[in-house]
Structure 1
């Protein structure tokens, strides 16, 4: 990996460590929100009881912890760049009484595992942040056993995910942020048609299948939505840190208006959509 990509990786590591306390605070809510994507990944993996599974970008542990519960005769290795996130994952595993889940701090692009190690690989909402996505896919292919299965989830397009664009669109307008480079890590980097299928094809995978799932997430109130985004949204907080108090107040007021316009019946729900990609070695 070249120096520029290594710098991105280090920035991400620092960011995830910094925001780990926010993720711990909102863990139950966030894992409930992301559960449908995890369930779709698990369904695609066709797991067997004695499988050895790699859960990449495991964060606070899911879907690796659920997989570990489903394969008591097998084992899950959950990897992540962030040591602090994995401390939470280990605590979650211990709270659930799971003995077959092992957290490991490592970079997907420099996988320490021998070739043909794992029966299955899962990765939920991590791919779009990998500095070199093709290298990551090739590493996954290398450590997967022949006929092993891979399943990942990435966000669909911004127009289908107003749970995050409701706040991001206002911030981008108020603060006039420069657009990211086309291939820079970001929420919607993998959302284009066949982006992931073509990537996995280049890495050597076969029998690639894409499907989309969608739904709504209930924040219960605007204030709860705002608080959560300020606690876990690293890019949002970074952008807001450069704003003065008056601008921050104006942004919050406009986001509140946008939020309410999407909930004319007094609810507090926003929409999400994700792409699930399954493949075989």
Structure 2
């Protein structure tokens, strides 16, 4: 669902991301939107607390997905406008529905590529992004564009993944699927802002100051029990398994179920995970 003037996918460098998030990847995230939110809930609260959103502030949520962060930001900025932007039309439809169901009126959603979208200059107090800032084709250009939308003294607060050595869930799933190479740390993907040195370099090159990176560790939730979690995880891995021979796919799914079962506990199925809470300011 788009709105007039939407510009998602305008930048050629982000074309691959636009295709993915409006294709199979977006379908999975739309189907499991509630589960994704539950999965990172233990990180979400600390991230929002770090944003320190005040009642009258103007907030932009980058890579807003199904809108959980935008809606929580709107509840905090009760007298201020909140805008969520994303390139995934299906997720934005979920976000708009959630806003209506929750009766949150000071939030709007726009299908737009935050790397190139012409945001009004110097109108924002806060830019937040929960795991949505790691997919820019040109992160310096993207954060330069976002910084231009901030008022002097306005801030950026991001939640990004730490390195793969801190992500039990990622190591487990890749290993079971027989994938030897981890996602790159210097290209669009979940680990592109996993190294503090790169985070500092990118944000400073974009004109932001007072960059800080704080570690946070919490379990990732995958489901109430083995059956519940396995259905979710198997769907997540479907892109890796789709072209395999049936016997190979069945072997991997059996191993995946066993791995999920090994992580069942009193709080359901959980895997260890770690994030960075990143803060910066427009000088």
Provide TM-score, normalisation by structure 1. Answer: 0.87
Consecutive unaligned residues of structure 1, counting only runs of 5 or more, are none
Question: Take 1:197 and 1:157, find their aligned partners in 2: how far apart are those partners?
Answer: 15
**Partner SS, residue 226 of structure 1:** helix
Please name the residue that 2:203 is paired with.
200
Distance 2:268 2:130 in 1: 28
Which structure shows the higher helix fraction? 1
Q: Which residue in 2 is equivalent to 1:190?
A: 193
> Aligned partners of 1:244 and 1:59: how far apart in 2?
33
Moved more, 245-254 or 145-154: 245-254
3-state DSSP class of the match of 2:255? helix
**2:16 paired residue number:** 11
- Equivalent residue runs for 1:204-215 within 5 Å: 204-215=207-218
Instruction: State the Cα distance separating 1:193 from its structure 2 match.
Output: 3.3
Distance 2:266 2:129 in 1: 36
1:104 alignment partner in structure 2: 110
Instruction: State whether structure 2 residue 89 is matched by structure 1 residue 86.
Output: no
Task: Report the secondary structure of 1:63's partner residue.
Answer: helix
Q: 1:265 to 1:67 in 2, by over 3 A?
A: closer
Change in 2 beyond 3 A, CA 1:29/1:180: closer
C-alpha distance in structure 1 between counterparts of 2:16 and 2:199, whole Å: 24
- Alignment partner of 2:46 out of 40, 45, 52: 40
Structure 1 residues 20, 264: closer, same or farther in 2, change over 3 A? closer
Match status 1:117 vs 2:120: no
Cα displacement (A) at 1:20 = 4.0
Residues 220 and 269 in structure 1, CA contact (< 8 A), matched pair in contact too: no
- Tell me the TM-score normalized by structure 2: 0.86
Counterpart of 1:255 in structure 2 is 256
Higher mean alpha-carbon deviation, 259-268 vs 150-159, is at 259-268
1:128-175 per-residue CA deviation (whole Å, 9 max, x = no partner) reads 2111111111111111110001100111111221223211222234xx
- Distance of aligned partners of 1:64 and 1:180 in 2 relative to their CA distance in 1, 3 Å threshold: closer
* Residues in 2 aligned to 1:267 and 1:88: alpha-carbon distance in whole angstroms: 26
Q: Which residue of 2 aligns with 1:273?
A: 274
Long gaps (5+) in structure 2: 1-9
